[in-house]
Amino acid sequence: MKEKARKYLHDMLRSIELIESFVANTADFDSYSNDLKTQSAVERQLAIIGEALNKFRKEEPTLSFKSESQIISFRNRLIHSYDSIDNTIVWVILRKHLSQLKVDVQFFTEEDKI
């Protein structure tokens, strides 16, 4: 795997871990909705994940993530249509999809070490 591709995987993993730490003490959706600082931090890291994934695809076009087009599209929405972001969508991403993305990123990282 190319060095740049490994860097993008590392960036994605770091962003996922930051998001996990940002919401570690967030008990529920209402708490998240009322915490503008956490929302801002999470959205920034989600944008980084989408950008890093987009760059990763260009470096390693034969490797792919299951939901890569949705992740990149959401990044574009965060950046270009920030005023249409729905906290419920972000919350679902955090609770239902982020952990699987972490597993996928770690898989590619581990595969590269073999």
Ranges of each domain in the chain = 3-113
Q: Provide the percentage of residues in the chain whose pLDDT is more than 70.
A: 96
Q: What is the mean pLDDT of residues 37-41?
A: 96
DSSP string, the chain: --HHHHHHHHHHHHHHHHHHHHTTT--SHHHHHT-HHHHHHHHHHHHHHHHHHHHHHHH-TT---TTHHHHHHHHHHHHH-GGG--HHHHHHIIIIIHHHHHHHHHHHHHHHH-
User: What is the pLDDT, as a whole number, of residue 114?
Assistant: 37
Query: Rounded to an integer, what distance in angstroms lies between the CA atom of residue 80 and that of residue 93?
Result: 19
Which of 111, 3, 113 shows the shortest CA–CA distance to 65? 111
Residues of the chain with pLDDT > 90: what percent? 77
Residues 77-91: pLDDT tens digits?
999 988 888 999 999
d(C-alpha 96, C-alpha 101), whole Å: 10
